[in-house]
A and B are shown apart, each in its own frame.
Chain A
Amino acid sequence: NAGVMQNPRHLVRRRGQEARLRCSPMKGHSHVYWYRQLPEEGLKFMVYLQKENIIDESGMPKERFSAEFPKEGPSILRIQQVVRGDSAAYFCASSRGTGANHEQFFGPGTRLTVL
């Protein structure tokens, strides 16, 4: 039973390019969450999605960032026109259900470096 998968594990982009980060949830999980972790800091919630719906995007920057979780395929976190401050580890998590009694399982993360 494969865990949460993220790719790529490492991504290098130049300023102004686009970054696309992919997350495949665990089998049977229809809830996906994205987090960002800056060096030496805790994780910061970005967005929560169910299939084809964004449920909570309160942690997403208002510009350049978007997320989707289509009916088929992985969830995608897209960062347009990246800047150096976007350099961070981006973690995806999935859960079977919503609410307080469903633990989240995290992927290994994508480390984005913006040159």
Chain B
Amino acid sequence: RKEVEQDPGPFNVPEGATVAFNCTYSNSASQSFFWYRQDCRKEPKLLMSVYSSGNEDGRFTAQLNRASQYISLLIRDSKLSDSATYLCVVITISGGSYIPTFGRGTSLIVHP
């Protein structure tokens, strides 16, 4: 079983749709969680951090469920510019080591 799993998609949705991505992780000691966005031929860029209390940034809402070991990203009112790959990132700090683990990414295509 991979440490961080995501549905690779692609998710193909019309503009204005609401779409949700999930990501599961296997290490219960993981401490920090993020969603990154990667555009084609570009480096990953931080989209948002994920907290147990949930956090919202405009049309984007991220949620962490520690008991079930998954994180989610909800995108409301999808725009064409939201088309990208969304990477789930889990960070574990153990014995002085900082260990980032990436999911394989979920592709989103928003069409007119």
> Do they bind each other?
no
Query: Which residues of A are in contact with B by a Cβ distance under 8 Å?
Result: none
Query: Which residues of B are in contact with A by a Cβ distance under 8 Å?
Result: none
